[in-house]
Amino acid sequence: MLRSRYIILLLVVISLIGVTAGCSGYGDDRGTAGTPSEGQDMEDNGQPADTAPNGQSGSGPPVMFRGNTWRTGTYDAPGIAMQPELQWKFKTSDFIYSTPAVADDTVYFGGRDGYLYAADLETGEEKWKFKAENAVRSSPAVADGTVYFGTHNSNLYALDAATGEEKWRFTASGGIESSPAIEDGTAYFGSFDGMVYAVDTTTGDEKWSFNTGEMVGSSPAVDQNKVYIGSYDGYLYALDRKTGEEIWKFRAKDSIYSSPALWDGKAYFGGMDGIFYAVDCETGREVWKFNTTGTLVWSSPAIEEGTVYFGAYDGNLYALDAGTGEQKWRFWTGRHAVYSSPSLANGMVYFGGLDGRFYGVDCNTGQKVWEFETGGNIYSSAAVYQNKVLFGSHDGSLYMLSETIK
């Protein structure tokens, strides 16, 4: 664990250099009430009712990191099934870890330059930017006309989505890299102060907090009754959604940065031990585990139609049977790690690598359909909207790729 903590701390320090001076498949089974196996608040098509079709919010469901509160990384969109064209790129002055959110024809994303940006979806032109004064690696969530995101200066901000005007801020005692989950008037997120927080989305007042004892960079997944989140102390926690009380905790062999995804009564996540886990949502007991050929699983999983996808330090994108943990296929990018979390749409899986390339891979075969080269490492995950794919790069640009350009 000391080795992985050293790596994590080194990466956090690197991300801060230069900033202080100037990151549709749901179980249809029905089980115990309030678990993902029940599929609470589900639509007829098997999607949770809070999943935003095509990544669009408006007055409808919230838009957030991994597409929904279950963090499954699925998007109800055509996506791109052929070699894409660059529709536009938005240049900032530093790295982009943050995953963009698309709502009301606007793209929201953060930069290591300390700004939260809003850009026009079609043109890529800046609408506004908000100076957060420190790195924004947290991915924004958009709900009811408000944008929520964390920063390395310990603040969770709530901004007016149309104007960028600050509504409120909540100050923790450590940086916030965790991406907030918005559900029923509450923002759930973790902090480097070791706490997991639940904050009122209207007032910014704390509802509850839970102390893990170590830094929390993982982003929470939320179902009807529980909040699931990993910590650098090596535990995945399941907390009561209303009170924050611990229901159970599962011990991995090392720290957890990966954000859990929920499907069919199980929570899926990776560890800094190079192992990918499936844990029962009710009991917290291990269902299965899968050993990668590398030392870290930083990537957060995506799940669709009984298959779970994730990237690893060994340069592979893995596809496993979600029920058994057996490998279906793996796609090797080369000797460069995959920290980007995969996104799923219309039979394609999208992700970036530290080789600076962004990939579109067939979900069924694991064969590469296309790739697009940027000028820097890619930690950001993709947002998929209609036939467009958006992601950030360490070259300081947010890219929007399109299958067709009008």
The pLDDT, as a whole number, for residue 30 is 24
- What is d(CA 320, CA 299) in angstroms, rounded to the nearest whole number? 14
Query: What's the CA gap between 383 and 55, in Å, rounded?
Result: 7
In three-state secondary structure terms, 55 is helix
* pLDDT (tens digit per residue) in 123-133: 999 999 999 98
**Span 276-297, pLDDT tens digits:** 999 999 999 999 999 999 889 9
pLDDT digits (tens, 9 = 90+) for 49-60: 444 444 444 456
374 pLDDT higher than 60: yes
Strand partners, 311: 317
What's the mean pLDDT in 9-16? 42
d(CA 79, CA 345): 6
pLDDT digits (tens, 9 = 90+) for 224-258: 999 999 999 999 999 999 999 999 999 999 999 99
pLDDT of residue 40: 39
Nearest to 356 by CA among 330, 320, 395, 386: 395
Q: Where is pLDDT greater, at 388 or 3?
A: 388
Q: How many other CB atoms are there within 10 angstroms of residue 404's CB atom?
A: 11
> Checking phi first, is residue 156 left (phi over 0); if not, alpha (psi -120 to 50) or beta?
beta
Distances, alpha carbon 162 to alpha carbons 62, 117, 127, 301, in Å: 15, 11, 9, 31
pLDDT digits (tens, 9 = 90+) for 173-224: 999 999 999 999 999 999 999 999 999 999 999 999 999 999 999 999 999 9
* Mean pLDDT, all residues of the chain: 88
Taking alpha carbons only, the member of 175, 341, 381 closest to residue 258 is 341
Boundaries of every domain in the chain: 2-23+28-402
User: What are the helix (H) ranges across 189-307?
Assistant: none
Q: Supply the pLDDT for residue 37.
A: 43
Q: Pick the more confident residue, 90 or 6.
A: 90
For residues 115 and 138, what is the distance between their CA atoms, to the nearest angstrom? 11
The residue with tokens 């699983």 is: 297
Q: Is the pTM of this model over 0.75?
A: yes
**Residue whose tokens read 């000391």:** 2
With bands split at pLDDT 50, 70 and 90, how would you rate the model's confidence at 330?
very high
3-state secondary structure of 7: helix
C-beta separation of 223 from 34 below 8 A:
yes
Q: What is the predicted pLDDT for the residue at 335?
A: 76
Share of the chain above pLDDT 70, in %: 84
- Distance CA(51)–CA(74), nearest Å, equals 9
Composition of the chain by helix, strand, coil, percent to 5? 5, 40, 55
Query: Which pair of tokens denotes residue 75?
Result: 């998007």
Q: How confident is the model at residue 13 (pLDDT cuts 50, 70, 90)?
A: very low
Distances from the Cα of 297 to the Cα of 166, 291, 301, 340, 398, angstroms:
35, 10, 10, 10, 24
User: What letter represents residue 401's amino acid?
Assistant: L
Q: Using one digit for the tens of pLDDT, what is the confidence trace for 103-152?
A: 999 999 999 999 999 999 999 999 999 999 899 999 999 999 999 999 99
Q: Which of 401, 351, 391 is nearest to 109 (CA)?
A: 391
Nearest one of 299, 371, 374 to 339, comparing CA atoms = 299
Can you give the C-alpha Rg of the chain in angstroms? 19
Residue 405 pLDDT class (50, 70, 90 cuts) = low
Contact 235, 44 (CB under 8 A): no
DSSP string, 323-368: TT--EEEEEE--SS---SPPEEETTEEEEE-TTSEEEEEETTT--E
Beta-carbon contacts of residue 266 (< 8 Å; ≥ 6 apart): 36, 278, 279, 280, 281, 287, 322
C-alpha to C-alpha distance for 352 and 182, rounded to whole angstroms: 26
CA separation for the pair 239, 9 (Å, rounded): 26
pLDDT of residue 295: 85
CATH number of 2-23+28-402: 2.130.10.10
> Reduced to 3 states, what is the DSSP secondary structure of residue 293?
coil
Express each pLDDT in 386-404 by its tens digit: 999 999 999 999 999 998 6
- The pLDDT assigned to 294 comes to 83
Contact 137, 118 (CB under 8 A): no
Q: What is the mean pLDDT of residues 156-181?
A: 98
Residue 353 pLDDT more than 70? Answer: yes
Close Cβ partners of 207 (under 8 Å, ≥ 6 residues apart): 186, 198, 199, 200, 244
Q: Does the structure show a pLDDT above 60 at 31? A: no
Q: Is 111 in contact with 133 (CB distance < 8 Å)?
A: no
